[in-house]
Amino acid sequence: MEFWFTERQTEHLGITLRVRESLLVEQTPFQHLAVLDTYQYGRMLVLDGAIQTTEADEFVYHEMITHVPMTVHPKPKEVLVIGGGDGGTVREILKHPDLKHVRLVEVDDRVVAAARRFLPTLSQALDDPRVEVMITDGAEHVRAMRGVYDVIIVDSTDPVGPAVKLFQQDFYQAVHEALTAEGVFVTQSKSPYLDRKLIREVLGIVRSLFPVALPYTAAVPTYPSGLWSFVLGSKVNHPVKFDEGRAEKLKTRFYSPEVHRAAFVLPREIRGDLLPTE
Ligand code: AG3
């Protein structure tokens, strides 16, 4: 018998993968969680029916959400990840030689447990001595911190369920205050084809807080529409003037200085919609 999983990406569009084995299915206090072994993309983490990451394409998203802000900051030592309980983003952060401490604030300890059990190539990073895992609400944590973090990365689910508050003005304000003087912030912001209104809203708020705010994209095969976006806010440094020497030395599969620069180049229509005055 064949077993297929479908993520309904919109009311009228889905992505379907053939499943070899269902490794874990559970309802946590926060969300529905599944780890499925797929023929095409390997093991896959699914939260509330939405594909979070697969073994085959996770490197694109994790490298791009991490190395862009980490190389825009001149010397990131203290870093915060909100969400990202699978450990993929932390794994990439640990590649930066100046890093002293990374704190992962994940609301759902079941996500961390599932990743530790079934996604070791991502979660192994969580055992590094520079890593601290805190199971608590990311928005509340950020509100309690002032001038602490060089880089803050929001590696959350989409704005439904537990992540809704991570896409709101008061949260971004608190992020700004939790950052150091040259602080850099990045959040995932869904698909430029399917969710342009959301990106515009996020960008508008980040612009009102940070002198530099820009969207960038990367092609992630298993995410809705295949093209994904991120919004970056920076207190001082421009994201396209970064330390290319440092970027070149990183051991990566997708990210490179060229890819970093190119990621900020948007197709005409998307650019016109998101950055009409530039
Ligand atoms: N967080 C962003 C995943 C969003 C995917 N959305 C969807 N499939 N509808 C990923 C967490 C990986 N560390």
Among the listed residues 220, 229, 166, the one whose alpha carbon sits nearest the alpha carbon of residue 195: 229
Answer yes or no: is the C-beta of 230 below 6 A from any ligand 1 atom: no
Answer yes or no: is the C-beta of 51 below 6 A from any ligand 1 atom: yes
Q: Whose CA is nearest to atom 3 of ligand 1?
A: 52
The pLDDT score that the predictor gives to residue 162 is 84
Q: Whose CA is nearest to atom 10 of ligand 1?
A: 52
Torsion sign, CA atoms 56, 62, 65, 69 = negative
Please say if the pLDDT value at position 144 is more than 80: yes
The pLDDT score that the predictor gives to residue 10 is 96
Work out which ligand 1 atom sits closest to the CA atom of 88: 13
The pLDDT score that the predictor gives to residue 212 is 97
pLDDT digits (tens, 9 = 90+) for 260-278: 999 999 999 999 999 988 7
Answer yes or no: is the C-beta of 224 below 6 A from any ligand 1 atom: yes
Q: Is 253 exposed, middle or buried (0-12, 13-18, 19+ CB in 10 A)?
A: exposed
Among the listed residues 1, 2, 45, 52, the one whose alpha carbon sits nearest the alpha carbon of residue 23: 45
Residue 105: which pLDDT band, with cuts at 50, 70 and 90? very high
Answer yes or no: is the C-beta of 163 below 6 A from any ligand 1 atom: no
Measured in Å, residue 50 CA sits from the centre of ligand 1 at: 7
Measured in Å, residue 223 CA sits from the centre of ligand 1 at: 7
Answer yes or no: is the C-beta of 228 below 6 A from any ligand 1 atom: no
Answer yes or no: is the C-beta of 92 below 6 A from any ligand 1 atom: no
The pLDDT score that the predictor gives to residue 78 is 98
The pLDDT score that the predictor gives to residue 107 is 97
pLDDT digits (tens, 9 = 90+) for 192-251: 999 999 999 999 999 999 999 999 999 999 999 999 999 999 999 999 999 999 999 999
Do 132 and 108 contact (CB within 8 A), yes or no? no
Question: Domains in the chain, start-ordered, CATH in brackets?
Answer: 3-54 (2.30.140.10), 58-274 (3.40.50.150)
The pLDDT score that the predictor gives to residue 225 is 97
Answer yes or no: is the C-beta of 59 below 6 A from any ligand 1 atom: no
**pTM of this prediction?**
0.98
Measured in Å, residue 42 CA sits from the centre of ligand 1 at: 16
Which amino acid makes up residue 211?
P
Please say if the pLDDT value at position 13 is more than 90: yes
Please give the average per-residue pLDDT across 111-126, as a whole number.
98
The pLDDT score that the predictor gives to residue 278 is 77
Which amino acid makes up residue 101?
H
Angle between helices 169-178 and 196-209 (to 10 degrees): 40
Question: Which residue in the list 57, 86, 150, 155 is annotated as catalytic?
Answer: 155
Give catalytic status of residue 37 as yes or no.
Answer: no
Q: Whose CA is nearest to atom 2 of ligand 1?
A: 157
Q: Which two tokens stand for residue 137?
A: 């609400």
Do 248 and 72 contact (CB within 8 A), yes or no? no
Work out which ligand 1 atom sits closest to the CA atom of 84: 13
Please give the average per-residue pLDDT across 86-105, as a whole number.
98
Partner residues linked to 38 by β-bridges = 19, 42
Do 55 and 43 contact (CB within 8 A), yes or no? yes
pLDDT digits (tens, 9 = 90+) for 54-85: 999 999 999 999 999 999 999 999 999 999 99
The pLDDT score that the predictor gives to residue 47 is 98
Give the Cα separation of 156 and 154 in Å (integer): 6
When the pLDDT of each residue in the chain is averaged and rounded to a whole number, the result is 97
| φ/ψ (deg, to 5) at 149 | -100, 135
